[in-house]
Structure 1
């Protein structure tokens, strides 16, 4: 039995050492003050698994906040070879947020972002989407990629009267969102 376990660990170690691994940061999230880090591992010549984690814990002037943490795993199929050229992805996303006092007077695909002004929303979200992207090799280890994704998000949030305090106006209200679920310009280091 010990020999079988040793052989299995050896086989897993050999297969992992032969795979490419990349670490990345989404420059669009960096600009929005969201700390983020991603990792991608090759599963086969044309398949990879990507996982990104994002965190924004800041409160801005006038108690504006877009606080959140978000996880977004994605399976990718590469048309040529992994970490090079065009790819399609299927992603999940989930997280928790606390948003208040943003003056964004626009509606996108049935979601009225103007409701953020003068209120605070605390809740969670879960969703699914598909994405398309392209990966450019810059140097031996450095790359950049762009990706856009669309999908569906289900969210539940408590709504509060004002951005700082106030009584709760709505309890655990559900919302369905269809639209963009991913936008990325990633700076990548491939091992």
Structure 2
């Protein structure tokens, strides 16, 4: 009887061990089959802005993308335009990873020295608190600070050639900005705030045409 019990336990242990090995092999195989693409935004290259990253397959329909955007321009068409941003984005593909339509959610953190488009004119700058005109023109002023952005995206990715894809996408979200305002040339503060000003707005802050190359 004890012998039969020993054989039964040994057999059960063997089955569990074999099953575990099979699951481990399948898991290893699945991970090794997950695709990885390096990608760059061809739409921004002509204006000297770098937007590049990696997209990794998590499962059959889900991917995780990390990318950076670097705009090194101290002056672009007469306006400050330095932006350094990093983004993490999760994507869902309706067909399968890296093929067809996709939607996603992302979070970005960025630092910038730029002149907002609302300051591009040569109009007199009015103090937003007193509503009185100041000695400055709007075109003399720029902003320096950082932003935290949360948003969604949608797009379409398709195959160009073996190992090459094209990804057309656009994103929109909430931008929470913390900044200080300065006068170009003197670098003095034009605003009354002792610390950072804060603003929030809904803006389109992602988009382009990514060219992707499969690394694995």
Question: Is TM (by shorter chain) over 0.5?
Answer: yes
Is the contact made by 1:101 and 1:117 (CA closer than 8 Å) also made in structure 2? no
SS at structure 2 position matched to 1:59: strand
Give the TM-score, by structure 1 length.
0.81
Q: Where does 1:114-129 land on structure 2 (aligned, <5 Å)?
A: 117-129=139-151
Give the TM-score, by structure 2 length.
0.72
SS at structure 2 position matched to 1:44: coil
Q: Where does 1:1-191 land on structure 2 (aligned, <5 Å)?
A: 14-60=29-75, 64-100=79-115, 104=120, 117-162=139-184, 164-170=185-191, 171-191=195-215
Structure 1 position 63, deviation (Å): 5.5
Q: Residues 159 and 86 from structure 1, CA distance in 2 versus in 1: closer, same or farther, beyond 3 angstroms? A: same
Structure 1 position 60, deviation (Å): 3.0
Q: Residues 88 and 173 from structure 1, CA distance in 2 versus in 1: closer, same or farther, beyond 3 angstroms? A: same
Q: Residues 52 and 12 from structure 1, CA distance in 2 versus in 1: closer, same or farther, beyond 3 angstroms? A: farther
Q: How many residues align?
A: 174
Question: For residues 80-130 of structure 1, what are the alpha-carbon distances to aligned partners after superposition, in whole Å with 9 as ceiling and x for unaligned?
Answer: 01001000010111110001486746xxxxxxxxx9722121000001101
Q: Residues 124 and 12 from structure 1, CA distance in 2 versus in 1: closer, same or farther, beyond 3 angstroms? A: farther
Is the contact made by 1:66 and 1:98 (CA closer than 8 Å) also made in structure 2? yes
- Distance, in Å, in 2 between the alignment partners of 1:125 and 1:131 is 18
Structure richer in helix, relative to its length: 2
Which runs of 5 or more structure 1 residues have no equivalent in the other structure?
1-6, 106-114
Is the contact made by 2:116 and 2:143 (CA closer than 8 Å) also made in structure 1? no
Is the contact made by 1:145 and 1:185 (CA closer than 8 Å) also made in structure 2? yes
- Distance, in Å, in 2 between the alignment partners of 1:11 and 1:95 is 40
Structure 1 position 153, deviation (Å): 0.6
